[in-house]
Chain A
Amino acid sequence: MKTDRLIEMLSTNLEPVERGQIGKVFAWALVAGGVAAFCVMLASVGLRADIGAHLGFLAIKLLFVLSLVGAGAAFLFRSIHPGQGAQKPFALVFVPFLAVGAAAAVVALLPGRSAPWGVLTFGTHWATCLYCIPLFAVIPFAALIWALRNGAPTNLARTGAIAGLVAGALGAAAYAFHCPDDSLPFVAVWYGASIALCAFIGAVLGPRLLRW
């Protein structure tokens, strides 16, 4: 095929492009994914029975996971536009992990703790946490991948990993409404591990799903 002919073909009947359209699609996918994760949580494990009495700790859990969603979404939004450096938002993703890890270490190791560190860390439902969060993350992940495919990410493994992380964090946000374990070490270890697992799966799937 001649290059001139290709150029001719591509410029024939050129369609104008709507501004900011892929950003809107991305925002929609994020919101829809979060709502879907919440609905799956309601339909499967349901709300925590005594949720009204534990709103304070719920807020801490949500602060952790939603800050991950925020930093991850900022990275993803830049990565759908080729050529926009995304080093800073990528580095920001690690901040919530470090913050919650440090807070957890303080709570678990200080002399004034409420229970032995093992009890604080393992809580009662760590296994449920570990499989519920990735499960709740499936729909947000699919939605995000679909939105990212609209864009043109150039680092597929990293973009896939952050998509997995954001999906995992949305899954964790949904799970927080069920989670009966109120301790920072628990959140740091099990929420952190499930979200990291989602990020790992995303990194593996990214190059296959996002190629363009």
Chain B
Amino acid sequence: MIAGLDGDAAAHKALLAKLSGHLRGYFKRHLARINRDPVEAEDLVQEVLIAVHAHRRTYDRSQLFTPWMYAIARYKFLDYLRRTKELRKDVPMEEAEEIIARDDHAAVESTIDLEKLMAGISPKARQAIRCMKLDGMSVAETAARCGMSESSVKVSVHRGLKALALLIGKESRP
């Protein structure tokens, strides 16, 4: 985690990959316990990964990592349950859905549609995220491409990711 905070992308990636496994198990277990479909877990996993990334500056290096991580996962889980409560009550589970839900593939793919979400954030942030996060351009290249200063590219990417996280929340609302 600390290497990731200092800008080590490989360490950050390894951390997120490892976390995704733990989170998937955690959410599946808890969703099953309250009789909810475990496929929902993947949406939650991705939501928490984005939250961990976007809020990584709230991690205090002198403290333990697990309580921090757990507090975020728990917050997102409660938030998710709150906003999907009404939705799930009204929609009966159909047989066809059951079959798709049991597909192994569903374990690593969420219902979140990135392209659709990207349409919902400001054009500036969208362009910055597309260049830096999807096409892998450097800050300087992105700045040149978008006609922004380097610091405003960084701010746009950061705000854009937070906006995306909030949009995911709205998407799964009734």
Query: Interface of A with B (CB < 8 Å)?
Result: 1-19, 21-22, 80-84, 150-152, 154, 211-212
In whole angstroms, what is the CA distance A62 to B7 when docked?
44
In whole angstroms, what is the CA distance A22 to B57 when docked?
7
Given A11-B13, A14-B9, A212-B165: A1 in contact with B68 (beta carbons within 8 A): no
Stretch at the interface among B26-34, B85-93, B133-141: B133-141
B96-140 CB mask vs A (1 if < 8 Å, else 0) is: 000000000000111011100000000000000000111011110
Given A17-B57, A84-B67, A152-B72: A10 in contact with B49 (beta carbons within 8 A): yes
Q: Is the CB of B50 within 8 A of A10?
A: yes
Contacts of B20 in A (CB 8 A): 3, 7
Contacts of B136 in A (CB 8 A): 12-13
Given A16-B7, A83-B68, A212-B51: A11 in contact with B74 (beta carbons within 8 A): no
Q: Is the CB of A154 within 8 A of B134?
A: no
Chain A min CB distance to B107 (Å): 9
Interface residues on B, range: 35 or more
Contacts of B60 in A (CB 8 A): 81, 84
Contact of A2 among B109, B158, B166, B169 (CB under 8 A): B109
Q: Is the CB of B61 within 8 A of A19?
A: yes
Q: Is the CB of B138 within 8 A of A13?
A: yes
In whole angstroms, what is the CA distance A81 to B58 when docked?
5
Contact of A82 among B16, B75, B112, B165 (CB under 8 A): B75
Given A11-B13, A12-B132, A17-B57: A82 in contact with B113 (beta carbons within 8 A): no
Q: Is the CB of B139 within 8 A of A13?
A: yes
In whole angstroms, what is the CA distance A96 to B7 when docked?
44
B139-165 CB mask vs A (1 if < 8 Å, else 0) is: 100000000000000100110011001
Q: Is the CB of B57 within 8 A of A18?
A: yes
